[in-house]
Amino acid sequence: MKAGDKVTFTFAKKEMEGIIERVFQKSVYIKADFPKDKGKIVKRKLKDIK
């Protein structure tokens, strides 16, 4: 897993897609497009990413 990869993650019991921005040892920052907030950065644990 590296920056620029497309991944799916859970947000409010829905599956969303995003692009990885930064990868750390146990966490990942994902840039995702929400309906009212385009380009939002979301932090998730590495084990929660599919």
Domain ranges of the chain: 6-48
Average pLDDT (9-23) is 93
Q: Average pLDDT, whole number, for the chain?
A: 93
Q: Which helix (H) or strand (E) holds 32?
A: strand 27-32
pLDDT bucket at 15, cuts 50 / 70 / 90 = very high
Which has the closest alpha carbon to 19: 11, 35, 9? 9
Are 29 and 43 in contact by the 8 Å Cβ rule? The answer is: yes
What is the 8-class DSSP label of residue 11?
E
Kindly report the pTM of this predicted structure: 0.85
What strand order describes the sheet that includes 40-45?
6-11, 14-23, 27-32, 40-45
Q: What per-residue confidence (pLDDT) applies to 37?
A: 92
What is the 8-class DSSP label of residue 26?
S
Q: What per-residue confidence (pLDDT) applies to 31?
A: 97
